[in-house]
Amino acid sequence: MKQILIPTDFSDNAWNAVKYGLEMFKKTRCTFYLMHVNPIPPYSGAGTAVRTAGENFKAVILKESKEELRRLLDRIGKELPLNTKHTFVPFAFYDFFVDSIKRESESKKIDLIIMGTKGATGLKKMTIGSNTGDVITKVKCPLLAIPEDAQYTELKEVALPTDYHTGYDLSALDTLIETVTMNKAELRILHISKKGKALSEEQQKNKDFLSDYLVDVDHSFHSLTGQSLETAVQCFTESRDIDMIAMVAKNLNFFQRILFKPEVEKISYHTEVPFLVLHE
């Protein structure tokens, strides 16, 4: 059984992540943990009276959060198809957001985190530490980021941009392979290089390893030259009608150039193509 964590702030894009996740795993037996975190405000340094008031405040907002989660479960029951393979566990916390995600991911042995993002603008804000960006960089658990405009369609092609400079961890590759095979999709491995620049010995070795490890997966290798990384990924995504982009979080500089680019609002695919972030 899959253990899937979906943090929610009860916004439209969080609801979209719920819809996407339930549809993507409609044939899989899953427990979905629906989690709302009320962030702790900065410590004021005040005394006992303020702390007591804080405890009362915590009790009130947790009660409100549990009521919101109950309404979310009602909405799932009314608006989405009944799936007997799916079990839902709601819980609310008054805590630091990333700490809560990390703790629950470890204690519940979460296989995948699914989070909604606010399209290009939301991704741009990751550079200053939004929730999704923080989880990507600080929680070692596979994460599926669902842009607000993404609508689930059957996955046919998944792109894996790579520079071949770093080797791949088997657990990260296994998550990718499972996603591709579960959806009977095809994996497109994309290398972007400067014009005329051949692969180094190390890069060729990493490419050969990928080819060997993916022997049972329907995959192909592609290369684009003379374009910026961002433009190349966008062109490839649009020309092939890519349904999901996978990235390895270890390769953070490469990863950030696509997700955290200041001009990211100019790149349209962020608003509709989900990102699967792989961790080792």
pLDDT for 222: 94
The structural domains of the chain, ordered by start, are 2-147 (3.40.50.620), 157-274 (3.40.50.620)
pTM score: 0.87
pLDDT for 30: 97
pLDDT for 56: 84
pLDDT for 122: 42
Return averaged pLDDT per consecutive 10 residues of the chain, 280 residues in all: 95 93 96 94 56 75 95 97 96 93 96 81 42 83 89 93 85 93 94 82 94 95 82 84 86 56 46 84
DSSP collapsed to 3 states, the chain = CEEEEEECCCCHHHHHHHHHHHHHCCCCCEEEEEEEEEECCCCCCCCHHHHHHHHHHHHHHHHHHHHHHHHHHHHHHHHCCCCCCEEEEEEEEEECHHHHHHHHHHHCCCCEEEEEECHHHHHHHHHHCCHHHHHHHHCCCCEEEEECCCCCCCCCEEEEEECCCCCCCHHHHHHHHHHHHHCCCEEEEEEEECCCCCCCHHHHHHHHHHHHHCCCCCEEEEEEECCCHHHHHHHHHHHHCCCEEEEECCCHHHHHHHHCCCCHHHCHHHHCCCEEEECC
